[in-house]
């Protein structure tokens, strides 16, 4: 079949037959989880499994009231599923807004279809910035492909008629028509699309900390359980029901299920909140990563500036050609060029009405690596359009003046020499014809946004393919503080770039490879990086950054690999997005000690109980034997008051201070004093009560109230400094605790404080308050 006939594309009947045969590209890698994955994550996990086993043990001995805790587990799982499904629905809906279609030719007519509707033999049209949806062979046109996703190399690969295009790569320049050669499982699309969308490892310090605790508790819970049940049955000689109840309580306490649920709920709530602000979060844990960002690398075009290029002036610097001739040359160049970047579109719009009738050949598209493009125009020779410093060694006066005004500058040049498009090298004999001055307006509010980010301790860097002098002057206009700290990356090697990456603020003439190298160097130096961009030349750096943020108006390729997509394409939304992450992580860090108190004291008391059993069996003195002092229903009721409502409310508080490091170490150290106070209270009341003839209910009553007081102090600490709403939250907590302690005492198996138990309770409460106040004062020093 000849090429012209092939270019007519498949007929509707051919498409129908191939679809029926399964020869279609039915592939859709959604960044959100499936309904089953959400259900499985919230139901079938280690925490729920261990709680389920404990609940079965309690039910088996008819300890129904102490099994109520599992209702909370079910409620948490259901609420987690509902929250995730709501977030998924929003993400999927927003994804539809940003989904790109593919242009195909069928029955000699162009139409746009979803990538999964492509069939074998389809004729597709692709241009710069688009991802190749399926393996194909070029039939017409010339382009350069970025195959870094496949090869790891950033060098662009020239694609002409007869060349193969690999799915998953991106067109960096040019425009081509190609025939699909592989679809579905037979091409690279499945593997590469998944890699391009979500395949960075989850970078969550909170999740990593919880996994450490889960791994530790998972290892000790079985031997602890065996030791405690044997102690209760064989040494204390308790009935089976009582033995199971006293064994279940510390095991339940060791599992930090509350903080795990609250973390996921808080992150998912942020996904929904950002979604309402038209920010598509494609990876839930990127919200936490955002909070830890201390360095943001900004792409100038479309970020600080509006990305709406407009040709301001054409400076004729040729002695041979008139202004009109140069305009005609530019008109011919842009009409026959396939470049579609914003700069090319601005030049095309300016000179599109000029008449020329000139034919061209040997077209070399503009590329972000080379920074220039060319074509041979009849009657003239080889015409070049590109960055002046890449075409000429000596600076042109008109270029310097335009750059000082903050304008983007391109040079039109000519040469009598031809270029070998298989081995592209600039000729030595090249003459400047004109300088094109292009303006890109600075976004409204950019100065305020930059200053606000800087005031919050975020280091800002600008990484751009433009001339560093131009970028510096634009940065100055935008209120960028370190606008004088810039470097021309085209004049430094990789080793030199690594040395100056941290100290330099503005990087000009950066290649895609260098952008990635800068991000990689900053990460290696210990920085958590975010990268903003909107062009195909930003892809490598966006993938390398800890968090990638792209504009919806940018190239579709960038949206495929971004963690977050700004659907309004507004750079000024960046502070709110960054601080939403800080709010979540700071609040979780602040309230986490509330949850870890129970984990620590349950672990320590379980060890004390086991050691007391060993001591009693060795000495024969059972009076030294300590049975775990709480039962599941008591802990469950207190949990709902201390660990339930207050922490959930506090996660919504505004908190934009920089995130502290060492989440697990910090929260454990904050929880330790309160946990030790619980252990001390248990031992003191147990010894004092036994020496003074207290019955077991009196001991349980004092300890129940002490657990409430110590838990309340942890809520107070998380609520400091107090304001009206936090004070109301504390009042609610006190009221809820007293109400349940009085009216649910038959359920919790406690009594009331009496004349001989109240003084001990008051004394221990006073000690707890003194310890709390003392530690708070030490912390402020």
Tell me the three state secondary structure of residue 619: helix
Tell me the three state secondary structure of residue 157: strand
Distances (CA, A) of 250 to 233, 480, 617, 730: 16, 56, 21, 27
Tell me the three state secondary structure of residue 106: strand
One DSSP character per residue, 171-196 reads EEEEEEEEEE---GGGSSHHHHHHHH
Residue 170: name the closest of 153, 150, 147, 193 by CA: 147
Q: Which residue intervals of 61-178 are DSSP H helices?
A: 69-98, 148-151
The set of residues, in sequence order, having a beta carbon less than 8 Å from that of 19 and lying 6+ positions away, is 119
The set of residues, in sequence order, having a beta carbon less than 8 Å from that of 595 and lying 6+ positions away, is 256, 258, 259, 262, 643, 647, 671
Cβ neighbours of 423 (radius 10 Å)? 7
Q: Which two tokens stand for residue 93?
A: 């809906």
Residue 641: name the closest of 720, 732, 724, 559 by CA: 732
DSSP letter, residue 415? E
Asked if the bond preceding 334 is cis, omega within 30° of 0, the reply is no
CA 722/CA 716 separation, integer angstroms: 8
CA 483/CA 486 separation, integer angstroms: 7
CA 328/CA 330 separation, integer angstroms: 5
Contact between residue 111 and residue 131 where contact means Cβ atoms under 8 Å apart = no
HSE of 276 in the Cβ direction (CA atoms, 13 Å)?
Answer: 7
DSSP letter, residue 63? -
Contact between residue 549 and residue 299 where contact means Cβ atoms under 8 Å apart = no
In sign, the C-alpha dihedral spanning 422, 425, 428, 434 is: positive
Residue 644: name the closest of 110, 259, 94 by CA: 259
Q: Which two tokens stand for residue 239?
A: 């009935």
| 683 CB burial (10 A radius; 0-12, 13-18, 19+) | middle
Contact between residue 272 and residue 408 where contact means Cβ atoms under 8 Å apart = no
Q: Is 444 a catalytic residue?
A: no
Q: How far apart are the first and last CA of the chain?
A: 83
Distances (CA, A) of 351 to 220, 304, 311, 325: 75, 27, 10, 12
Max Cα distance, the chain (Å): 113
CA 614/CA 396 separation, integer angstroms: 89
| 455 CB burial (10 A radius; 0-12, 13-18, 19+) | exposed
Rg (CA), the chain: 34
| 226 CB burial (10 A radius; 0-12, 13-18, 19+) | exposed
Q: Which two tokens stand for residue 305?
A: 């500036």
144, β-bridge pairs: 158, 173
Catalytic residue among 299, 534, 538, 573: 299
Given the DSSP bridges, would you call strands 295-298 and 529-533 parallel, antiparallel or unpaired?
Answer: parallel
Find the helix packing angle between 35-43 and 69-98, rounded to 10°.
Answer: 150
Residues with a known catalytic role: 299
């Amino acid at each position: 079949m000849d090429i012209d006939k092939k270019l007519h594309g498949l007929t509707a009947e051919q498409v129908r037959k191939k679809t029926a045969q399964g020869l279609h590209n039915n592939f859709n890698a959604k960044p959100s989880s499936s309904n089953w994955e959400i259900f499985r994550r919230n139901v079938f996990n280690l925490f729920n499994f261990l709680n389920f086993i404990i609940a079965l043990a309690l039910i088996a001995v008819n300890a129904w009231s102490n099994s109520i805790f599992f209702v909370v587990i079910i409620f948490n799982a259901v609420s987690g599923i509902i929250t995730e499904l709501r977030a998924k629905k929003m993400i999927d809906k927003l994804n539809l807004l940003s989904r790109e279609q593919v242009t195909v030719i069928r029955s000699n007519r162009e139409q746009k279809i979803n990538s999964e509707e492509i069939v074998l033999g389809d004729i597709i049209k692709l241009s710069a910035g688009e991802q190749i949806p399926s393996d194909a062979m070029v039939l017409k046109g010339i382009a350069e492909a970025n195959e870094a996703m496949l090869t790891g190399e950033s060098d662009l690969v020239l694609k002409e008629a007869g060349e193969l295009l690999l799915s998953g790569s991106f067109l960096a320049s040019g425009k081509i028509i190609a025939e699909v050669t592989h679809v579905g499982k037979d091409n690279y699309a499945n593997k590469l699309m998944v890699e391009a969308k979500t395949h960075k490892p989850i970078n969550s310090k909170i999740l990593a900390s919880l996994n450490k605790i889960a791994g530790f508790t998972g290892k000790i819970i079985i031997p602890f359980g065996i030791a405690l049940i044997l102690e209760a049955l064989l040494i204390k000689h308790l009935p089976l029901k009582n033995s199971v109840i006293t064994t279940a309580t510390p095991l339940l306490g060791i599992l930090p299920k509350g903080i795990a649920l609250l973390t996921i709920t808080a992150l998912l709530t942020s996904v929904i909140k950002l979604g309402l602000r038209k920010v598509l979060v494609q990876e839930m844990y990127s919200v936490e990563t955002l909070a830890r960002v201390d360095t943001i690398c900004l792409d100038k075009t479309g970020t600080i500036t509006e990305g709406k290029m407009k040709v301001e002036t054409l400076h004729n610097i040729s002695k041979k050609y008139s202004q009109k001739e140069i305009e005609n040359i530019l008109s011919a160049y842009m009409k026959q060029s396939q470049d579609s970047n914003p700069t090319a579109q601005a030049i095309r719009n300016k000179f599109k009405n000029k008449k020329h009738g000139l034919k061209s050949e040997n077209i070399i598209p503009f590329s972000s690596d080379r920074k220039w493009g060319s074509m041979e125009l009849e009657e003239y020779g080889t015409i070049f359009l590109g960055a002046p410093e890449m075409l000429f060694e000596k600076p042109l006066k008109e270029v310097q003046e335009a750059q000082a005004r903050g304008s983007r500058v391109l040079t039109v040049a000519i040469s009598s020499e031809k270029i070998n498009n298989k081995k592209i090298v600039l000729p030595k004999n090249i003459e400047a014809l004109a300088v094109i001055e292009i303006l890109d307006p600075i976004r409204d509010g950019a100065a305020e946004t930059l200053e606000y980010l800087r005031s919050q301790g975020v280091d800002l860097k600008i990484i751009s393919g433009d001339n560093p002098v131009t970028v510096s002057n634009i940065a100055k206009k935008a209120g960028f503080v370190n606008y004088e700290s810039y470097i021309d990356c085209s004049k430094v090697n990789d080793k030199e770039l690594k040395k100056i990456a941290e100290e330099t603020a503005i990087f000009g003439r950066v290649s895609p490879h260098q952008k990635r190298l800068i991000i990689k160097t900053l990460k290696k130096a210990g920085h958590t990086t975010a990268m903003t961009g909107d062009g195909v030349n930003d892809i490598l750096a966006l993938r390398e950054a800890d968090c990638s943020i792209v504009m919806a108006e940018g190239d579709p390729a960038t949206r495929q690999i971004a963690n977050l997509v700004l659907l309004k394409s507004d750079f000024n939304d960046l502070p709110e997005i960054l601080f939403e992450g800080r709010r979540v992580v700071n609040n979780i860090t602040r309230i986490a000690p509330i949850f870890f108190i129970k984990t620590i004291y349950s672990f320590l008391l379980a060890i004390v109980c086991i050691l007391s059993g060993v001591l009693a069996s060795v000495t024969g003195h059972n009076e030294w034997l300590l049975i775990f002092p709480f039962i599941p229903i008591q802990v469950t009721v207190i949990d709902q008051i201390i660990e339930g409502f207050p922490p959930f409310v506090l996660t919504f508080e505004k908190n934009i201070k920089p995130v502290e490091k060492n989440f697990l170490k910090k929260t454990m150290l904050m929880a330790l004093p309160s946990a030790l106070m619980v252990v001390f209270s248990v031992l003191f009341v147990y010894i004092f009560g036994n020496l003074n003839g207290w019955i077991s209910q009196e001991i349980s009553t004092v300890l129940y109230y002490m657990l409430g007081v110590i838990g309340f102090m942890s809520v107070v600490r998380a609520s400091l400094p107090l304001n009206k709403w936090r004070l109301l939250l504390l009042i609610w907590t006190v009221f809820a605790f007293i109400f349940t302690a009085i009216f649910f005492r038959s359920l919790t198996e406690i009594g009331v404080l009496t004349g001989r138990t109240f003084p001990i309770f008051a004394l221990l409460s006073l000690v707890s308050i003194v310890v709390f106040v003392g530690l708070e004062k030490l912390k402020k020093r």
